[in-house]
Chains A and B, each alone.
Chain A
Amino acid sequence: MEKTQKSKKRLKTAKELTQIITDFYLEGHRAKAEGKPVGWMPPMNGAIEIFYAMDLEPAFPENWSPVCAAFGLTPGDFSVAEGMGFSQDLCGYLRNITGFIYGVFGKDTVPLGGLPEPDILLSPGAGCIPAMKIFHIIERRFPNAKVFYADLPQVAVEDIKKHHLDYAKQEIHRLIDFLTSITKRKMDYDRLAEVVRLSDEACALWDEICSYRRFIPTPISAAEIGIMFVMVTRQGTQIAVDFLTKVRDEVRERAEGKIGIIENEKLRLFWDNIPLWYNMGLFNYFEKMGGVVVAETYSAAWSIRLDVKNPLDALAMKSLMSYPLVSCVSIKKRKEMVLKACREYSIDGAILHRNKSCVPITLGQMDIKRELEEKLGIPSVIIDADHMDERNFSVAQFQTRVDAFMEMLHEKKGIT
């Protein structure tokens, strides 16, 4: 096994993703050239719908990191950031983006042209600390960009109350006012309603696609998680709906035809935490032992249905829920979610990625591990790695742990 490798994808539609990714970045550069304001923002909040509704161009530095990992830019970016004094103990997204904007940003050699230069920065006051600090660094690098200092209550999903929602809504109004004042574009609320409807439709499709994971053999695996790109970057657009409809149709067809990811599916696995973006091929590693990674936690952030009749409420609620749902802000809820998925998808074993680059998702994992064992009798294995920095990943250690784990699962299930 290589330290860095791409995953083997089985869905035909997943292969179309390359074009969607290329189009997204080309569109960003075209927008910039045409004078359309480009705004950089963190993922997992309602700002993307606001941007699309106001015909502004969103870009996602955090999401650019997996693309950097896929193109092999990360080591160079890390080198720049670490040379500036950013510690190797910091999140890989933070070091990658920092190195990118202070390194190869704007150079012709950057794949897909990289990120278009920002006119607007939506600097978060919420999400994880690295997400906030990334934007503090970006603000310094692009001093001419107009900065919206966002704020959002960081609260467990089960504890959300009216005052949290009220404040989140006030922040959305403030964002709209800010964008209006600096771009002179007014919000068309009918258009916003349509964008929110499309966003919800994408969520519904996402849920439907995920629901086919209950089929044995599973028609879709975590190796296809790249389709999540449209949920991060295209939520609220017809592009996302059209693409996910195709994915749904193909997955449904495979489910009905009992076409699995591999020929002889013996073990169904669950992955907790962010994948190793530089080694998505890891998801295929289990296949030689009859294992398929059926589901993962990270995708849950995109399963939040929106109240299309109340677009602003819906976006406020989405903003409040998305990050806590997959992080240590809502350990209880996350645990419930994992257990529910493992039950519904008939999971045999779980792989818990103890991710040095993501403390908020790693915290709470041991509770998930215990409950999987105690409540569902599902064993799990911990893999020490890092979603961005391959230096924190040992292939040999991974293989040793996973091979022993898979052997144990084989024995437990009586597979010869």
Chain B
Amino acid sequence: MPFGFSLFLWRKYRGIYMMDTKNISARLDSIAHAREKYEQNLSRPGAIPKKIIGYFCTYTPRELIHAAGFLPVRVPGGHVRAERADSLVPSFICPYMRAATERALRGDFRAISGIVTSYTCDVACGVTNVWGENIAGEIFKNIPLPYNDSSDSRTFLRSELLDTAEKLNGLGGAFSLESLASSLDLYDRIRELILNLYTLLFEMRLPFSADTLASILGASEIVEPEEFLALTHDFIDEVKGAPPDAYEGIPVIVSGSLVEEPRAFIIIEQSGGRIVGDDLCTGFRPHVPARGKGKDPMDALIDRLLRRFPCPSRSRAVGRLPFLFDLIGHTNARGVIFLFQKFCTPHLADYPIIVEELKKHDIPSMLFEIEETGFAEGQLRTRCEGFFEMLGGS
């Protein structure tokens, strides 16, 4: 399995710091196993006793899907060499979308009933529609999110989300504002837990490293929210009570799009860095803010979506900078490592502007692109070692 080895690696490389954290280790095992089970079940129709709806982008209002009685799952990509996918999509789209398409064609997602995903990038939109033409499923829908936050845009989005809910009800769903309130509560609690873990990461008080945190986040995107919350009940207290990971490295932020492969984090840390925060689609960004406000659950959902920590698909580079600088300042990071999916237009287009601004503040950075073949580990290691040496590491 694409992620099955994460825990193994974590133990191998960081086990030395986990001597007093057996309970946490057991929890992490449970979370990893749950994630693995759900991922395996995506190819087994009926194994999960619920309709599963996939999504690509974390701007998707998964609470809406859940409120209809379905399980929203971020479609995993992983390390797959795309061969069959060439019959549907070009080679110059991000490896994630190619891998997901390859796996869909292989039958890895037979249990997924369709895709409901927010329109954030051209590729996610196009691939959703290509799947609609080629992959079995009942619904393939892009949700157009407004770019502006105004009363008009909120009214529009409300209509759009209600329209989406109606479509989900047409598939046998049972969406209501009451069910949305319950689903929002579940996901809000998950986000709060994750943000609490991030607070500890920022303060270097986590008893484990960023790759492990990434694995927990990965599980939260696929495991039933009720089950995920049960698996992580009181987890934060245990984590707070455990001795922090004492690993010493140069503090850095990782910024980019999807990083499904925690191995990249391990390599960064083995090369002399310590990841103290991130600005990733699969990391911190989609969880901020944890809750939205509004006169009813739909308004709260909209409020959160429109006030989210901005991603380059939906905002200007200059709009993202204050958040990034805030993260850097808060964590005392000494540099930024950009990890982009190859061909990711939103990130590549913002990159020169972000770097220019970082330079003005004497914050060094490096860029590494994730290719279809995955990480060129040696290359990433060499680049990171050079980067940390330049930053004054050993």
Residues of A within 8 A of B122 (CB): 128-129, 327-328, 359-360, 363
Please report which residues of chain B, range 305-334, place their CB below 8 angstroms from some CB of chain A when the two chains form the complex: 313, 316-318
Question: Is A153 in contact with B144, judged by CB distance below 8 angstroms?
Answer: yes
Binds B, one of A62-70, A132-140, A253-261: A132-140
Chain A contact residues, majority secondary structure: helix
CA A90 – CA B91 in complex, angstroms? 14
Residues of B within 8 A of A367 (CB): 88, 130, 133-134
B294 adjacent to chain A (CB < 8 Å): no
Please report which residues of chain A, range 140-194, place their CB below 8 angstroms from some CB of chain B when the two chains form the complex: 140, 149, 151, 153-156, 161, 163-164, 166-167, 170-171, 174
B41 adjacent to chain A (CB < 8 Å): no
Question: Is B342 in contact with A136, judged by CB distance below 8 angstroms?
Answer: no
- Taking CB as reference atom, which chain A residue is nearest B318? A140
Residues of A within 8 A of B156 (CB): 153, 163-164, 166-167, 170
The answer to whether A91 and B93 touch (CB under 8 A), given A125-B146, A155-B142, is no
Question: Is B126 in contact with A90, judged by CB distance below 8 angstroms?
Answer: no
CA A139 – CA B349 in complex, angstroms? 14
Please report which residues of chain A, range 86-132, place their CB below 8 angstroms from some CB of chain B when the two chains form the complex: 86-87, 89-91, 94, 125-126, 128-130
Residues of A within 8 A of B121 (CB): 129
Question: Is A129 in contact with B153, judged by CB distance below 8 angstroms?
Answer: no
Question: Is A130 in contact with B349, judged by CB distance below 8 angstroms?
Answer: yes
Measured between C-beta atoms, what is the minimum distance from B119 to chain A in Å? 5
CA A301 – CA B247 in complex, angstroms? 58
B105 adjacent to chain A (CB < 8 Å): no
B226 adjacent to chain A (CB < 8 Å): no
Question: Is B345 in contact with A151, judged by CB distance below 8 angstroms?
Answer: no
Residues of A within 8 A of B129 (CB): 156, 328-332, 363-364
CA A61 – CA B293 in complex, angstroms? 40
- Taking CB as reference atom, which chain A residue is nearest B149? A151
Residues of A within 8 A of B126 (CB): 327-329, 331, 359-360, 363-364
Partner of B348, one of A87, A139, A171, A363: A87
B38 adjacent to chain A (CB < 8 Å): no
A214 adjacent to chain B (CB < 8 Å): no
Partner of A163, one of B159, B316, B348: B159
Interface size range on B against A: 35 or more
Interface string of B83-97 (1 = CB under 8 A from A): 000011110110000
Residues of B within 8 A of A360 (CB): 122, 125-126
Interface size range on A against B: 35 or more
Residues of B within 8 A of A362 (CB): 90
Question: Is B90 in contact with A328, judged by CB distance below 8 angstroms?
Answer: no
Question: Is B348 in contact with A86, judged by CB distance below 8 angstroms?
Answer: yes
A395 adjacent to chain B (CB < 8 Å): no
Measured between C-beta atoms, what is the minimum distance from A397 to chain B in Å? 15
Question: Is B342 in contact with A328, judged by CB distance below 8 angstroms?
Answer: no
CA A364 – CA B356 in complex, angstroms? 36
A408 adjacent to chain B (CB < 8 Å): no
A354 adjacent to chain B (CB < 8 Å): yes
B9 adjacent to chain A (CB < 8 Å): no
Partner of A151, one of B130, B146, B343: B146
A213 adjacent to chain B (CB < 8 Å): no
Question: Is B146 in contact with A359, judged by CB distance below 8 angstroms?
Answer: no
Question: Is A363 in contact with B123, judged by CB distance below 8 angstroms?
Answer: yes
In the A-B complex, the 10 residue pairs with the closest CB atoms: A328-B126, A125-B147, A363-B126, A85-B352, A163-B159, A133-B349, A167-B156, A153-B144, A331-B129, A151-B148
21 contacts across the A-B interface (CB closer than 8 A): A89-B343, A89-B345, A94-B349, A125-B146, A129-B122, A137-B353, A153-B144, A153-B156, A163-B156, A163-B163, A329-B125, A330-B129, A332-B129, A335-B133, A356-B92, A359-B90, A359-B92, A359-B126, A359-B343, A363-B93, A363-B122
A residues neighboring B (CB under 8 Å): 84-87, 89-91, 94, 125-126, 128-130, 133, 136-137, 139-140, 149, 151, 153-156, 161, 163-164, 166-167, 170-171, 174, 327-332, 335, 354, 356, 359-360, 362-367
With A151-B153, A364-B133 already in contact, 15 other A-B pairs whose C-beta atoms are closer than 8 Å: A84-B352, A89-B342, A89-B343, A89-B345, A94-B349, A125-B146, A130-B349, A136-B318, A163-B159, A167-B153, A327-B126, A332-B132, A363-B126, A363-B129, A367-B130
